[in-house]
Amino acid sequence: MALILFNKPYGVLCQFSPERGGPPRPTLADFVKVPGVYPAGRLDTDSEGLLLLTDDGRLQSRIADPRFKMAKTYLAQVEGEPDEAALALLRKGVTLKDGLTLPAEAERIDDPALWPRDPPVRFRKSVPDCWISLTIREGKNRQVRRMTAAVGHPTLRLVRWRVGDWSLEGIGQGEWREV
């Protein structure tokens, strides 16, 4: 059984084959040269961070299936500076178009020591930003981005740092490690 922890860069498709008809974009095949593995879950093209790849269907299901509610921790650079009331809403659950999210763990954090993003996040002198850590146990489409926007703090940069017990600790951007 193979389990690979990959630090997916911004702009990389979360699949091994290129999209048809769209602009050429890097894929997992440009980084991970291990046959027979596939992503356990998804990570949007404009999100970065931990992506788990495996050749074990049961493990893939345990990681990705919402029934198992595996915790996923994201570091989100958000527009503005969320106060305790906004964080409390995230902790309680936020109503989105497709329903109420499960309660999340949410806290403001110091700027994390991350690799620079290419392209960089747009800087605006007149609008402050800050970082929050958000841990969710479900996987609605673009959920973290929609949650932060729903409480008035759109996400500028999103990095998945942890899935279950696995984290990005010690894995550089575009690098991977087998565990």
Residue 99 has pLDDT above 90, yes or no: yes
Q: With cut-offs at 50, 70 and 90, classify the pLDDT of residue 144.
A: very high
Where residue 125 falls among pLDDT bands split at 50, 70, 90?
confident
Would you say 108 and 80 are in contact if contact means Cβ atoms under 8 Å apart? no
Strand 176-178 and strand 166-167: pairing? unpaired
Let me know: does 14 contact 28? Beta carbons within 8 Å.
yes
Q: What is the pLDDT of residues 38-53, one digit of tens each?
A: 999 889 999 999 999 9
Beta strands in 35-165 (DSSP E): 38-39, 48-54, 72-79, 95-96, 99-100, 105-109, 129-136, 155-163
Record the pTM.
0.94
Full set of structural domains in the chain with CATH: 3-66+166-178 (3.30.70.580), 71-163 (3.30.70.1560)
pLDDT of residue 38: 94
Structure-model confidence comparison of residues 18 and 94, the more confident one: 94
Active site residues: 44
For residue 35, what are the contacts with CB-CB under 8 A and spacing of at least 6? none
